[in-house]
Amino acid sequence: MVNKDFLKKVLSGEKILIPMAQVKMIDVPNFDELSVSNLWPHLKRDVAFMKHFPDELPVGRLPSRCYFFNIMNTGMGDYLTKLIKHAND
């Protein structure tokens, strides 16, 4: 996820890295409703969320599930909790 282009943007203030001690780790159940491919199209329009991801990914690639949901849980914990509860119901 981190490459030289992303690090350049971090140093210029366009992107953000979160210290590991501040990341709220989570293990999200493997439901279709909670897949990265299902949520990515909606969340990639969120400017604050996208500060933690590269502007472009290789064709056909998505962020890793672990990274995606840990960043989502750190910044949008209440929303993710509601999504998981809805998927469980």
Cβ-based neighbours of 29, under 8 Å, separated by 6 or more: 84, 87, 88
Question: What pLDDT was estimated at residue 10?
Answer: 94
Amino acid 4: pLDDT: 87
Residue spans of the domains in the chain: they are 4-88
Q: List the chain pLDDT tens, one digit each, 89 residues.
A: 678 899 999 999 999 999 999 999 999 999 988 999 999 999 999 999 999 999 888 888 999 999 999 999 999 999 999 999 999 98
